[in-house]
Amino acid sequence: MRVMQPAVLVGPYDWDASLLPRAEFEARIKEALGKIAGQGLVGLVVYGNKIDNAALAYLTNFTPKLDSAFALVTPDGSVRLHSSGSPQMMVNAQRLTWVDGVKPLRDAGKHIAEWAEALPPGSLGLWTTDAMPADLLPRLAAALPARPLRDVGSALDPLLRPKSPLALGLMRAACGVLAASSAALRQSFQRGASARDAAVAAEEAAVQAGAQDVRVLASLAKGGTPTAIDYPESAKLDPLLAYIAVRRAGYWAEGSLILSAAPNATLTRTQEALATMIAKAKPGIKVAELAQVARDKLGGLAIHPAARRPVTGIGLSLVESEAEMGGVEILEAGRVYSLRAGAHASDSDNALLSAMIEPRAGRAELLWSSLA
């Protein structure tokens, strides 16, 4: 789910070698270079910005806090990193990555051309071109007339989907932050807080639990679809629908939940739908089958628009890119997914619930659920 993006990222993004040691990144770089070996490429250019930075973070741990950054990778695995910001700001930028000597980013085409002068003739691979501003790729091509630029996303994007044991541990930790945030939201609601105050409590709890980034959406009217709260609302809403996304050590966890003093038919059916999806989830199951069991439990209620895609992969990005145009088709072991169930009865009668799972050994390990 796409949510409002902060203008500047301010959370604790410093590289922590105790969480992700340098050896983890070196192994990732080696695997990435192996995926594109034999394609005539003499270097890899990895782009990231403060919104789309999964590939950049995967290889370098670097998340641009201001605007954008480039990692330049040679076939021997050495990495050069350019980040937006003044030369004086590179001291702080250096703390975000294991890559030594982070340099300021002024003219991307010039920087890459200078770096490429030491490389043999050949093409450069580009990763994350779809996140680049519309004018950037033409500028890079103009600055590198003798070097063809080739998008290698289709070859490298699959590396982001399976999670290493270290990454899975970080995702469980992110789910712990999500649990603390959702508990604060629930407790605030039970004390009679307004939707805005409950959302603020959820955000504060996430920050205190170590979140780098936190996004909270909540209903603007009773039973309404969660949205950004940007006004000083003071009334309590019941039912209250909410969405929380948190990021810790680069990895995301997300959850949709409903708070209400009195259950209703729409909520009850949606709870049954999500519970059935969790019970059925396992490696190899088709997402279409999970969607069908959810529809059966909803008993004719319309699917909420936010739940029309019932399964998404999640990790270094809130929604991972998939090989299939329609999204996830089959659950795979070693990945983490967000399951969603939702129903729409009227503008004021909606339900959205979700769970974070890791399919493994014929079942799904439940990492977080709004049913708990």
* Pair (60, 93) in one structural domain: yes
- Pick from 141, 160, 179: which residue ends a domain? 160
Other Cβ atoms within 10 Å of 85 Cβ, number: 19
* Pair (51, 182) in one structural domain: no
> Domain holding 123: CATH number?
3.40.350.10
Q: Can you give the residue range of the structural domain that contains 301?
A: 165-369
ω into 359 cis (within 30 of 0): no
Indicate the burial class of 153 (C-beta count within 10 angstroms; 0-12, 13-18, 19 or more): middle
Assessment of whether the complete model's pTM goes beyond 0.75: yes
* Pair (175, 109) in one structural domain: no
Query: For residue 300, what pLDDT is reported?
Result: 92
Query: For residue 7, what pLDDT is reported?
Result: 61
DSSP string, 247-303: EETTEEEEEEEEE-SS--HHHHHHHHHHHHHHHH--TT-BHHHHHHHHHHHHTTPEE
Q: What is the mean pLDDT of each run of 10 residues along the chain (372 residues)?
A: 63 94 97 94 97 97 95 97 96 97 96 96 96 96 96 97 97 98 97 94 96 94 88 81 97 97 93 98 97 96 95 97 91 97 94 97 95 88
Q: Evaluate whether residue 14 is within a structural domain.
A: no
Helix (H, G, I), strand (E, B) or coil at 34: helix
Query: For residue 325, what pLDDT is reported?
Result: 85
Residue 159 near residue 31 (C-beta atoms within 8 A) = yes
* Pair (110, 224) in one structural domain: no
Measured on CA atoms in the order 75, 161, 177, 223, is the torsion positive or negative? positive
Q: Evaluate whether residue 227 is within a structural domain.
A: yes
* Pair (247, 196) in one structural domain: yes
Query: For residue 66, what pLDDT is reported?
Result: 86
> Domain holding 332: CATH number?
3.90.230.10
Q: Evaluate whether residue 156 is within a structural domain.
A: yes
Residue with tokens 């890559």: 99
Strand partners, 255: 244
* Pair (144, 221) in one structural domain: no
Helices marked H in the chain — which ranges? 22-36, 54-60, 90-94, 108-116, 136-143, 153-156, 165-190, 195-208, 265-280, 287-298
> CA torsion, points 9, 12, 18, 24, in degrees to nearest 10?
0
Tokens of 364: 């799904």
Query: For residue 248, what pLDDT is reported?
Result: 96
Query: For residue 262, what pLDDT is reported?
Result: 87
Strand partners, 35: none
The tally of domains found in the chain comes to 2
* Pair (151, 245) in one structural domain: no
Q: Evaluate whether residue 1 is within a structural domain.
A: no
Angle CA 300–301–307, to nearest 5: 120
What lies within 8 Å, CB to CB, of 242 at 6+ separation is: 182, 185, 198, 199, 202, 216, 217, 218, 219, 226, 256, 257, 258, 259
Residue 185 near residue 196 (C-beta atoms within 8 A) = no
Q: Evaluate whether residue 2 is within a structural domain.
A: no
